[in-house]
Structures are given as structure tokens and as C-alpha cells.
Amino acid sequence: MTQAQVTVEPVVVEEEFDTVDMNINMGPQHPSTHGVFRMVLTVDGEQVKDVTSYIGYMHRGGEKLTENLDYRGALGYQDRTDYLAAFNNEWVYCNAIERLAGIEAPERAEYVRLILAELNRILSHFMFMGAFGTDVGFFGTAFTWAFKERERIQDFFEAVSGDRLMYNYFRVGGLAWEPYPTFVEDARWLLRQVEAGIADIDELMTNNEIMISRCRDVGRMSAEDAISYGVTGPLLRAAGVPLDLRVDEPYSIYDRFDWEVPTGLRGDVYDRYLVRLEEMRQSVRIVAQALDQMPASGPIMAEGLPKVLKPPPGEIYMRQENPRGEYGIYMVSDGSDKPWRMKVRSPSFHNLSSLRHQVRGSYIADAVIILGSVDIVLCEVDR
């Protein structure tokens, strides 16, 4: 890795005066901004010269709210940052508190958490496939195909947690309640369905000539640039950096499974798509193994937890690999029943900050699919 060659170049807008530049306001209400995101494209004809992002429309002050609730009470807010990966968020939050307070969740609970989080990753990537397909122009076909599988997973989650989107099922030290009796069998059935669904999506999109020519070499980002922008997750892996926190800073029980980390070669939109597709398959692998290894019975909650949780003063930066990248919670305890400071490091936020770097010089249509390939969840960007 070369040293420190990554500096911020000044914005070089071509001095040459080509016809009249036009500012296009894309969003906050636009079908392809994936939420209330606004970007102002400065275009010359169809080519994007510059782009300015405006975020914050969904800012709800989740950090401030969490600081004003006790540790357990703020759990529900964590679902709402990244609503497509709610289990993963809950997990990070619970893990952060558990590490702060020195609690250890029982093994069975850990397995259930892992299975649900990995399934949630698949769900989130299905959502990506659908939305990205629509961005590329599959008039709804990719969307409905992906959503069919996503619905299946959501049905499963509903059976487990009682909710389809904001599960609120994990607890500090374990799970809210015992998973229902046929959990394992249903999960196995679900995996088979999901695998078929992944194959369908693969067949529909991967080798489509138009898809390839649309996505290849669009939005390329070198590994250095990606790292400099704090880009993590599938985007960074597509750029060729095999950084996966499940491997590099292991947490939970990921070291018990046999799986692989896919990385791309070019860091373009197509690689991101491929990486996500492969990640879904790997998640299926992980879940299958976890289902086999999972103890059939056992406690799902740590013993002897106090009624009011007061972790000793200290701090932790808990980070885990969410579907969109490194989701970190920086939590500072002052010894009271509320976190003194809770900061969410959301992957979407930093991935989105690299948008300008990727979009400049491409076409308007590229801007749309690049934004789609970044796969932002605006609730998470704005928190």
C-alpha cells in the first residue's frame, strides 16, 4: 500500500465552456434516490460535471434520544437506523452493551442471533437486487423476483419475532424469548427457497448483455480512494480489499464456520453487484452450518442480569459487519443507567460520502445506478 498519496484534489470543473450547464435537482422526491436524499447534479447535456449531496431529511437525532433513555429502552431505536438490517443493528447495540457491562450471552442465543443476522443480510441484499434492478431498468421484474424471497424471509422473521420490519427481538444478554419450536426446520426450508431465489436473480441479471454494458466500469473506485472515503462493506470488497469485520476483527462465533469472503477486481458497479450476490450465497452457507451446529436446547438469556443496567464507566467502539459495511456503535458509559454518549457509525453515511467521487464525469443514468449500487438506507445515513 503506497503511503499517503491519497489527498483531496480540488474540484476541477472544466474551464472550457461547453454550452450551458444545467443544475438538476434529483430528490428529495425522486424514484431512484432510495429515500429522501437530494443530489444536485450539474450536468452538461447528459454528462455530470459535479454533484452535491444534501442529506439530513430523515435526521431524527437517534443518538441524542438514546442518550436520554436507559440502555434497554433505547434498543427499539436501533432497529430504525437501518430498517433493512434491523437484526444486525440490534446485535451491534446489544454486543456493545454486553462488552461494556461484561455480560456474556449464552451460546444458543448467539447462534440464533447469528442466524437471524445472516438471514437479514440476505434479506437486505435481496432488497438491493430489487432496487438496483429497477435502477438499471428491469421494469419491476428484478424487483418482484427479489421481493418474493424477501417476503419469505420476512415471514420467517415475523414468526420468530412477531414483527416484519422492526423486530426488537434481541436483548442485552440474549434473546427476548425462546425461538418457536420449528425454528430450525423452517430456517432450513427457507434456506432452500432462498438459494433458488438467488439462482433466479443470478440468471435474470448477471449475464444480461445490457446489464453488463451498463454496469461495467461505471463508478469505479480504487481501493485507496475507497479506504480514504471510509467506504466499507461490499463496496470496499468490490474494490479488491478483503476487509470483512467478521474475519478481520472477529466477533461472536464466526470463526466456527467455513465460508469465503468475495472480493471484486475492478471496484465498479458490476463488481459490487457480483460481490453482493456471492455474499448472499456465503451467508446461506454460514446459516446452514450454524443451523447444524446450534444446540437444541439451552438458555437464551444470560444469568443474573441486574434489573437496571449500569455498566461501569468506560467506553467501547463496537463494530460489526452489517450488510452495508462496518456498523459501529461508540458507546461511553459514565456508570449511570443511560449511555453518556452513543454514536452510530453508519456504513451508508460514509459510503454515500464517496458518491461525488464516483459520479463526477459519468452520465446521469450512471449517477442513478451508482447511487443504487452504493445501496444506501437514508434512515441510516441521517440517523
Partner 1 sequence: MPPLEHVLVISAILFSIGVYGVLTRRNAVNILMSVELMLNAVSINMVAFAIYGRVAFDNTFTGIIFAFFIVVVAAAEVALALGIVVRLFRNRATANVDEVNLLKW
Partner 2 sequence: MSATEIVFYCIAFFMIASGLGVVLARNIVHSALALILALGAVAGVYVILTVEFLALTQLVVYGAAVIMLVLFALMLTRARERPQALFGKNRPIAFVIAAGLLTAFIAGIVASEWATTNPDDIEPLPFQEIGDVLFSAWAVPFEVISVVLVIAMAGAILLSQPDQGEQ
Partner 3 sequence: MTSGTEPQAKAPPKSKRAEKAERIKEPPPPGGIADIYRAALPASIPVEAEQTKWDVALTVPAPQLREALRVSREHPTLQMDLLRNQTAVDWTDQGLEVVYHLYSTALRHAVTIKAWVPSENPSLPTVSDLWRMADWAERECREMFGIEFEGHPDPRNLLLDEDFDLPVLRKSHPLAPIEVKQGVDVEYFAKEHPRETPPVRKDDAEGDDERAQRIAAAKKQAAAAAGAPAETKPAQELTPEELAEKKAAQVERVKKARALAAAARAAKAGGGAPAAAKTETPAAPIEAKPAAPPPAPATPAPPEKKAATDLSPEELAQKKAAQAERVKRARELAAKARAEKAKRGG
How many angstroms separate the Cα of 281 from the Cα of each of 100, 198, 286, 381? 33, 8, 9, 27
Q: Find the shortest distance in angstroms from Cβ 42 to partner 1.
A: 17
Q: Which is nearer to partner 3, 249 or 303 (CB)?
A: 249
Q: Which is nearer to partner 3, 227 or 291 (CB)?
A: 227
Q: With binding defined as CB under 8 A, does residue 220 bind partner 3?
A: no
Q: Find the shortest distance in angstroms from Cβ 307 to partner 3.
A: 5
Residue that the C-alpha cell 424487483 belongs to: 143
Q: With binding defined as CB under 8 A, does residue 82 bind partner 3?
A: no
How many Cα atoms are found within 13 Å in the side-chain-facing hemisphere of 312?
Answer: 4
| Residue 344, φ and ψ in degrees, nearest 5 | -100, 125
Q: With binding defined as CB under 8 A, does residue 30 bind partner 3?
A: no
* C-alpha span between 285 and 23 (Å, rounded): 47
* C-alpha span between 293 and 115 (Å, rounded): 11
- Contact residue for partner 3 among 56, 137, 250, 295 (CB under 8 A): 56
| Sheet strands side by side (includes 325-333) | 314-322, 325-333, 339-345
- As given in the structure block, the three cell numbers for residue 37 are 436524499
Residue that the C-alpha cell 445506478 belongs to: 369
Q: Choose the contact partner of 45 out of partner 1, partner 3, partner 2, none; CB within 5 to 8 A by kind.
A: partner 2
**Where does this chain bind partner 1 (CB under 8 A)?**
17-19
Q: Which is nearer to partner 2, 43 or 175 (CB)?
A: 43
Q: Which is nearer to partner 3, 266 or 343 (CB)?
A: 343
Q: Going by DSSP bridges, is the β-strand pair 47-54/38-44 parallel, antiparallel, or unpaired?
A: antiparallel
- Contact residue for partner 3 among 330, 363, 364, 365 (CB under 8 A): 330
- Who's near 2: CB < 8 A, 6+ residues apart? 224
**Where does this chain bind partner 2 (CB under 8 A)?**
15-16, 18-20, 45
- As given in the structure block, the three cell numbers for residue 371 are 447511487
Residue that the C-alpha cell 431498468 belongs to: 137
Q: Find the shortest distance in angstroms from Cβ 43 to partner 2.
A: 12
**Sole window of 144-152, 255-263, 345-353, 360-368 interacting with partner 3 (rule: CB under 8 A):** 345-353
Q: Find the shortest distance in angstroms from Cβ 3 to partner 3.
A: 5
CA angle 244, 249, 250 (to 5 degrees): 95
Burial (CB < 10 A; 0-12, 13-18, 19+), residue 338, is: middle
Q: Find the shortest distance in angstroms from Cβ 51 to partner 2.
A: 21
- Contact residue for partner 3 among 54, 177, 180, 189 (CB under 8 A): 54
Q: Find the shortest distance in angstroms from Cβ 365 to partner 2.
A: 19
Q: Tell me, what DSSP letter sits at residue 26?
A: E
Q: With binding defined as CB under 8 A, does residue 336 bind partner 3?
A: yes
Q: Find the shortest distance in angstroms from Cβ 231 to partner 1.
A: 37
* C-alpha span between 359 and 51 (Å, rounded): 7
- Contact residue for partner 3 among 31, 45, 46, 61 (CB under 8 A): 61
- As given in the structure block, the three cell numbers for residue 248 are 478481520
Q: Which is nearer to partner 2, 16 or 209 (CB)?
A: 16
- Contact residue for partner 3 among 120, 174, 349, 377 (CB under 8 A): 349
Q: With binding defined as CB under 8 A, does residue 6 bind partner 3?
A: yes
Whether the Cβ atoms of residue 223 and residue 239 lie closer than 8 Å to each other:
yes
Q: Which is nearer to partner 3, 52 or 144 (CB)?
A: 52
Q: Choose the contact partner of 184 out of partner 3, partner 1, partner 2, none; CB within 5 to 8 A by kind.
A: none
Q: Choose the contact partner of 100 out of partner 1, partner 2, partner 3, none; CB within 5 to 8 A by kind.
A: partner 3
Whether the Cβ atoms of residue 381 and residue 55 lie closer than 8 Å to each other:
yes
* C-alpha span between 32 and 125 (Å, rounded): 17
Closest listed residue to residue 170, CA positions, set 301, 308, 342? 301
* C-alpha span between 382 and 63 (Å, rounded): 11
Contact residues for partner 3 (CB under 8 A)? 1, 3-4, 6-8, 11, 13, 15, 17, 20-23, 40, 42, 54-56, 59, 61, 63-65, 68, 99-100, 224-225, 227-232, 241, 243, 248-249, 306-308, 310, 312-319, 326, 328, 330, 332, 334-336, 340-341, 343, 345, 349-350, 353-354, 357, 382-383
